[in-house]
């Protein structure tokens, strides 16, 4: 027999502390999974932004394992319930006065003045600055702008990334670690252009950019190869898709994302798509979906930092039906209103897992393919990414020039 309103209120009151703990625990677990995903991909680590104090965690019986080197980043999954968890608030990172502080001020000012220039969220910008600080530390150069520019121009900063070793083991840094550090350098000196009027040598900037492209390509080849040679077990996309759609309602945004990804597997780009009933005139500068055509017009693809000629991708009828049902159920201006990370985590997967699963599925029908052939294919895909800087899978012949067809 269902609870009455009075019984439910009494139950909730009696279990208020437990419910609060469960809510906190869920946030922490989601943040931990995000950190693990970032570690696997060599991405900058994101600090937990839940605003929970150690005293609250101790009261709720939750033990959190904070990373001593990265503010509010978890090294292990949170534990619950725990008697006397013994949590201590991690010290907040101190802001360096002058020098790097000036660089941070310049970046923040650039972000405020022209947020559309930056593809990154502010949290990612902060992480890039932290990585830049980490590389610069120990170079022997001062923290004034002139010294920083000199360190970059002389190639010292880039060589520190290239020759970087683990501070405990002395082993060379993995490619993904070098990629993350190089991304931070490129972000500060190239994307933000904070030193453009301070004598920064364009050749030094180009060296950093070329090295970053190489690391990205090596990382991508390694990811692809690990799937093709079987060293990394990955479920097929169809399996992940079917499990995912079974966990949520038919027109949930998670289902929309899964259907979109089945047709065209991108990264987080579906977060950047606006919705129109018919194709607008004049042409918008952003990505957009036209309902009466079932087409997304792509103006910008993430991770590349470049704009491309207008391209359009026509989605399958099944995907269009799911989109329409979702938009009727929840009218909105954007195709996706939550982050892809949140929506896919809700159904037990991630953007990267979907991408890797696509590779597995591509080769399921060719079990007799030799290792040499698989390596060759990995190299082909790696080369495509390095030169085009666009990484998409299974276009199925529907990725076409927009002006010609629609």
Q: What is the pLDDT of residues 294-316, one digit of tens each?
A: 999 988 766 544 444 457 889 99
Confidence category of residue 399, pLDDT binned at 50, 70, 90: very low
pLDDT at residue 370, as a whole number: 66
The residue ranking higher by pLDDT, 143 or 177, is 177
Do 53 and 156 belong together in one domain? no
pLDDT at residue 17 is higher than 90: no
Kindly state the DSSP code that residue 398 receives in the 8-state scheme.
-
pLDDT at residue 244, as a whole number: 94
| 373 domain-assigned | no
pLDDT at residue 390, as a whole number: 26
Domain containing residue 328: 237-368+383-405
| 183 domain-assigned | yes
Mean pLDDT, residues 106-114 taken together: 63
Point out the domain boundary residue: 48, 79, 110. Answer: 79
| 43 domain-assigned | yes
Q: Is the dihedral of CA 9, 13, 17, 20 positive or negative?
A: positive
pLDDT at residue 322 is higher than 60: yes
Do 255 and 392 belong together in one domain? yes
**What residues have CB less than 8 Å from 237, skipping those under 6 apart?**
262, 265, 354, 357, 358, 360, 361
Do 123 and 61 belong together in one domain? no
**In the block, residue with structure tokens 């070329």:** 210
Kindly state the DSSP code that residue 187 receives in the 8-state scheme.
I
| 89 domain-assigned | no
- pLDDT above 70 covers what percent of the chain? 70
Do 260 and 392 belong together in one domain? yes
If you compute the radius of gyration of the chain from its CA atoms, what whole number of angstroms results? Answer: 24
**Residue 319: CA count within 13 A, CB half-sphere:** 21
Do 52 and 197 belong together in one domain? no
Least confident of 42-56, 148-162, 318-332, 370-384: 370-384
| 343 domain-assigned | yes
Do 155 and 284 belong together in one domain? no
Q: How far is CA 25 from CA 29, 32, 62, 255, in A?
A: 6, 10, 7, 25
Do 183 and 313 belong together in one domain? no
| 356 domain-assigned | yes
**Residue 15: CA count within 13 A, CB half-sphere:** 9
pLDDT at residue 213, as a whole number: 87
- pLDDT above 90 covers what percent of the chain? 23
Give the tokens for residue 284: 């918008």
Least confident of 200-209, 280-289, 395-404: 395-404
| 20 domain-assigned | yes
Point out the domain boundary residue: 194, 228, 262. Answer: 228
Mean pLDDT, residues 30-40 taken together: 82
Point out the domain boundary residue: 228, 259, 283. Answer: 228
Do 164 and 255 belong together in one domain? no
pLDDT at residue 72, as a whole number: 81
pLDDT at residue 362, as a whole number: 63
Is the CB of residue 179 less than 8 Å from the CB of residue 40? no
Task: Quote the pTM value.
Answer: 0.45
Do 253 and 363 belong together in one domain? yes
| 91 domain-assigned | no
Please tell me which of 86-100, 125-139, 208-222, 389-403 the model is most confident about, judged by mean pLDDT: 208-222
Mean pLDDT, residues 310-328 taken together: 91
Q: How many domains are there within the chain? A: 3
Do 308 and 391 belong together in one domain? yes
Do 272 and 398 belong together in one domain? yes
Do 208 and 246 belong together in one domain? no
């Amino acid at each position: 027999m269902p609870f009455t309103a009075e019984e439910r209120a009494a139950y909730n009151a009696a279990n208020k502390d437990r419910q609060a703990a469960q809510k906190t625990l869920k946030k922490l677990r989601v943040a931990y999974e995000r950190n693990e995903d970032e570690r696997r991909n060599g991405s900058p680590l994101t600090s937990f932004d839940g605003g929970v104090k150690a005293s609250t965690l101790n009261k709720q019986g939750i033990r959190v394992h904070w990373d001593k080197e990265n503010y509010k980043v978890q090294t292990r999954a949170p534990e619950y319930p725990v008697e006397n968890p013994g949590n201590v608030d991690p010290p907040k990172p101190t802001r360096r006065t002058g020098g790097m502080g000036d660089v941070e001020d310049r970046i923040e000012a650039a972000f405020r003045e022209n947020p559309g220039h930056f593809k990154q969220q502010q949290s990612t910008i902060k992480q890039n600055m932290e990585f830049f600080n980490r590389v610069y530390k120990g170079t022997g150069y001062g923290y004034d702008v002139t010294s920083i520019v000199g360190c970059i121009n002389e190639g010292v900063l880039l060589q520190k990334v290239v020759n970087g070793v683990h501070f405990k083991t002395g082993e060379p840094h993995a490619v993904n670690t070098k990629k993350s550090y190089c991304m931070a350098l490129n972000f500060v000196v190239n994307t933000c252009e904070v030193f453009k009027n301070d004598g920064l040598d364009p050749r030094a900037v180009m060296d950093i950019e070329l090295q970053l492209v190489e690391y990205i390509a090596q990382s991508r080849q390694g990811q692809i190869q690990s799937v093709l040679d079987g060293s990394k077990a990955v479920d097929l996309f169809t399996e992940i898709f079917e499990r995912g759609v079974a966990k949520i309602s038919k027109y949930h945004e998670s289902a929309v994302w899964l259907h979109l990804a089945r047709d065209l597997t991108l990264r987080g780009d579906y977060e950047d798509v606006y919705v129109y009933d018919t194709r607008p005139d004049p042409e918008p500068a952003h990505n957009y979906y036209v309902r009466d055509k079932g087409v997304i017009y792509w103006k910008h693809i993430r991770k590349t930092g470049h704009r491309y000629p207008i391209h359009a991708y026509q989605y399958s009828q099944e995907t269009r039906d799911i989109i329409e049902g979702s938009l009727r159920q929840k009218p909105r201006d954007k195709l996706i209103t939550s982050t892809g990370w949140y929506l896919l985590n809700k159904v037990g997967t991630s953007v990267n897992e979907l991408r890797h699963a696509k590779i597995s599925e591509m080769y399921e029908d060719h079990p007799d393919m030799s290792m040499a052939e698989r390596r060759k294919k990995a190299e082909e895909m790696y080369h495509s990414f390095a030169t085009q800087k666009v990484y998409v899978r299974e276009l199925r012949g529907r990725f076409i020039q927009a002006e010609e067809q629609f």
